[in-house]
Structure 1
Amino acid sequence: MDLRHIRILLMDVDGVLTDGRLYYTERGEEIKVFDVKDGLSIKLAQKAGIITGVISGRVSNALRKRLEELGIEEIHLGQKDKLRALYEIVEKYQVTLQEVAYIGDDYVDIPVLRKVGFPVAVKDAPLLVKKFALYETKREGGRGAVREVIELILSQKGVLEEVLRDYLCGE
């Protein structure tokens, strides 16, 4: 599998960037838990010139804050039709579907997984979802699966060490 052509990385949120569980305070505010390792890898992907984005059926203030903090370029929340968001992104950046990677974890992600060039399912996705993926992560959603995919893409592009240079060289 050759991933050198990947220009855009899109992800679902719940079950991919988070472990899929929903937490609520007594006041009914939603709390999300994110893995900082995934966050750092998103920054590395951006440093390598990969456009990052999320397509999620849910809307959350906590989520929006984290995505903005990470500098995610494409934020599509409250999407009941994930394919529409995918096509908007592809058109906006004038790329082909083959140049898009998507990480999903559940049945609602299958339509997107079926269209993109590099469809990925997280380890804890249902078997049916995994059938539409070219790659299944070794890590579960919300627990480093995004980092695993990003490191794989950057490694195949031959830029992983380059984007890690600040950390590898030290002073």
Structure 2
Amino acid sequence: MNDILQKAAQVKLMIFDVDGILTDGSLHFGPEGEALKTFNVLDGQGIRLLQDAGIATAIISARQSAIVSKRAADLAITHVRQGIHDKQSAFLSLIDELQLPAAACGFIGDDVIDLPVLSRVGFSVSVPNGHAEVRQRVDFVTTAGGGKGAVREICDLILRAQGKYDLALARYLS
């Protein structure tokens, strides 16, 4: 666990996959064919706490969805890459834009398309409902499932590892 905390302590940018991470991975479609997704409010609050603590956030997703753009806007996630099948290139472009080394980044993903990024970041994370090949190659697997609090779990872990958790909660406890 100390190794995990050391890696989490270095995160300056946390990147999230969407389907299977911010959602439970189920795909639902409305009558007009529009994608419908369910997001967890605890995950959203965790992302806000990271941002308030000075940790940048981003989304890299293989699917393109208007609802993801809306959720990202609601959460003030400005670095959003959708419809990306080469996640490694999107990741490298993002860290070049932000002038961050890969070692200062965390990524949470659940399927083999995420492996190129997971293998490069300083802190790699998956979920229990993620593909077995992914789970065995990451630094940490959350207890909570995708769309069920996994993102909040990892946000809290990063904040604790960086000694920012108590400060993040202080505004709610006074």
Q: Which runs of 5+ in 1 are unaligned?
A: none
Q: 2:10–2:122: 8 Å Cα contact kept in structure 1? A: no
Partners of 1:30 and 1:70 lie apart in 2 by: 19
The one-letter code matched in structure 2 to 1:18 is T
Percent of pairs identical after alignment? 38
How does the TM-score come out when normalised to structure 1?
Answer: 0.96
Residue identity opposite 2:135 in structure 1: K
Residue 96 of structure 1 corresponds to 101
> Structure 1 segments of 4 or more deviating over 2 A?
none
Q: How does 1:124-143 map to 2 (within 5 A)?
A: 124-143=129-148
CA RMSD of aligned residues (A): 0.8
Instruction: Check the 8 A contact 1:45/1:154 in 2, yes or no.
Output: yes
Which ranges of structure 2 fall in alignment gaps of 5 or more residues? none
Q: Which residue of 86, 90, 102 maps to 1:85? A: 90
Q: When the two structures are superposed, what TM-score results if normalisation uses the length of structure 2?
A: 0.95
| 2:106–2:123 contact (8 Å) kept in structure 1 | yes
In the alignment, the residues of structure 1 paired with residue 34 and residue 92 of structure 2 have an alpha-carbon distance, to the nearest angstrom, of 32
**Once the two structures are superposed, what CA deviation does each residue of 1:93-146 show, in whole Å capped at 9, x if it has no partner?**
111111000000111111111111000011111211112200000010000000
Aligned length: 169
1:123 correspondence with 2:128: yes
- Offset, 1:73: 2.4
Which letter maps to 1:100?
C
Q: Say which SS state the counterpart of residue 125 (structure 2) adopts.
A: strand
